[in-house]
Amino acid sequence: MSTSAMLLPGQPLPANLVAPPLPQCGSGCYELNGRIIASVIGKPKRDGSIVSVIGREETGNTPDVGSVVIGTISRLTTQQAHVTLTTSNDRPLPETSEEFLGVIRIADVRLTERDKVKIGECFRLGDLVKARVLSLGDARSYYLSTAANELGVVYAISEGGNPLVPVSYQEMEDEITGKREKRKVAKPEGI
């Protein structure tokens, strides 16, 4: 089995997956004039003599306890942040009629100084957050935690509408104005 980058409908599959002899077309692709073309948005895959394009709805990926998820802050209260989840373990979540939702409770924001945590200083609406699934929670949402250095806000927009860059584990800085805002920042990769 071999995978590559995401394809759009109409794009040919990478040459390394369709090397002669020409493989059979599986789901999500078709043959046209000796070339194999994607018919859905997804990742190409070759399994023996069959190639296919696996779309988001076919991934079958759902968060489980211990999974690292990424989502957007959709609602804040004084006690918790609500997250709309988009990926689990670096794979997109399937599109369903109901969204995958998570909750970060005030006690699960960070490891130290838990009594000093203020949700509004850690997250803002629209922030992109990386978290770990603690438990499956109730019927509506997963319980999440950002209590690790590599977990927290990975992308945010300032009050002025500019991208923020991390400057410490609890502050991000507006790239344009230099104004700092409080967040529970995820440690940037490679540092």
The model's pLDDT over 137-152, given as tens digits with 9 standing for 90+, comes to 776 789 999 999 999 9
- Model confidence at 56, in pLDDT bands (50, 70, 90)? low
Q: Can you point out the beta strands (E) in 34-146? A: 35-38, 42-47, 50-55, 68-76, 80-88, 91-92, 100-105, 128-135, 142-145
Encoded tokens for 180: 């700092």
Backbone angles phi, psi at 60, to 5 degrees: 65, 20
d(CA 97, CA 86): 14
pLDDT, tens only, 60-89: 577 888 899 999 999 999 999 999 998 888
Q: What residues does 172 pair with on adjacent strands?
A: 166, 181
Please give the model's pTM, rounded to 2 decimal places.
0.67
**pLDDT surpassing 50 at residue 126:** yes
C-alpha angle 97-100-105 in degrees, rounded to nearest 5: 150
pLDDT, tens digit, 9 for 90 and up, residues 4-22: 577 888 888 888 887 777 7
Domains of the chain: 2-58 (2.40.50.100), 68-182 (2.40.50.140)
Enter the tokens of residue 174: 């507006």
Please tell me the distance from the alpha carbon of residue 22 to that of residue 72, in angstroms, as a whole number: 42
